[in-house]
């Protein structure tokens, strides 16, 4: 009797398929390499995503700072525009008073010290800037004083139009329109 407990009853078979080629031994190796490569690329993508989020947050902070600076500059520009508009209106007013100042000086110098000048209005017409309206009230003035005023004003190249004199007791009221004469 034999010492083996088990006998092999298999017979060799010829109808089975052939063995796989030796190059197929690389398939499991490529599988593991693909898993390691995928893990590597996933890790680099996650790290890159986090870095991009940090970069985006930093860029948004910088953008917010720039927008704050820009809005402050725009506010300063608006204030400067308002101040410029005010300055231009004051400059126009001063420019308008240049023609009024010599007239006021001539009227004040034409009146003698014993005559009291109560009111003096010189108004510019916005539609006709070359035309002025002169109105004055004198206490103790005469028509000779009015003629002196007209003569001094005409020396400044202004012509009087539509003069009106009204005398009520000691009060003399004089109104006229002054037109600039181009010589």
How many structural domains is the chain composed of?
1
Q: Is residue 25 part of a domain?
A: no
Task: Give the CATH number for residue 157.
Answer: 3.30.70
Q: Is residue 124 part of a domain?
A: yes
> CB neighbours (10 Å) of residue 149?
24
pLDDT tens digit sequence for 107-154: 888 888 888 888 888 888 777 767 888 898 988 888 888 888 888 888
Question: What region, left, alpha or beta, does residue 20 occupy, with left being phi > 0 and alpha being psi -120 to 50 degrees?
Answer: beta
**Structural domain containing residue 147:** 99-180
* pTM for this predicted structure: 0.48
Q: Is residue 85 part of a domain?
A: no
Looking at the chain, the whole-number percentage of residues with pLDDT higher than 70 is: 90
Q: Is residue 88 part of a domain?
A: no
DSSP state of 85: H
Structure tokens at 110: 């034409």
Q: Is residue 167 part of a domain?
A: yes
pLDDT tens digit sequence for 13-35: 777 777 778 888 899 999 999 99
Tell me if 64 sits within 8 A of 71, measured CB to CB: no
Structure tokens at 5: 């407990």
Task: Give me the phi and psi of 6, to 5 degrees please.
Answer: -120, 135
């Amino acid at each position: 009797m034999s010492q083996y407990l088990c006998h092999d009853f298999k017979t060799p078979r010829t109808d089975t398929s052939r063995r796989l080629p030796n190059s197929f031994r690389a398939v499991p190796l490529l599988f593991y390499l693909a898993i390691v490569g995928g893990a590597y690329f996933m890790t680099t993508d996650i790290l890159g995503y986090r870095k991009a989020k940090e970069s985006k947050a930093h860029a948004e902070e910088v953008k917010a700072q720039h927008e704050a600076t820009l809005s402050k500059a725009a506010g300063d520009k608006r204030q400067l525009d308002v101040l410029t508009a005010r300055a231009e209106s004051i400059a126009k007013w001063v420019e308008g008073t240049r023609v009024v100042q010599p007239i006021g000086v001539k009227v004040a110098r034409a009146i003698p010290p014993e005559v009291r000048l109560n009111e003096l209005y010189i108004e510019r017409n916005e539609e006709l800037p070359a035309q002025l309206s002169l109105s004055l009230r004198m206490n103790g003035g005469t028509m000779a004083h009015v003629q002196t005023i007209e003569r001094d004003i005409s020396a400044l190249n202004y012509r009087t139009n539509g003069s009106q004199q009204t005398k009520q007791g000691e009060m003399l009221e004089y109104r006229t329109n002054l037109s600039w004469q181009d010589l």
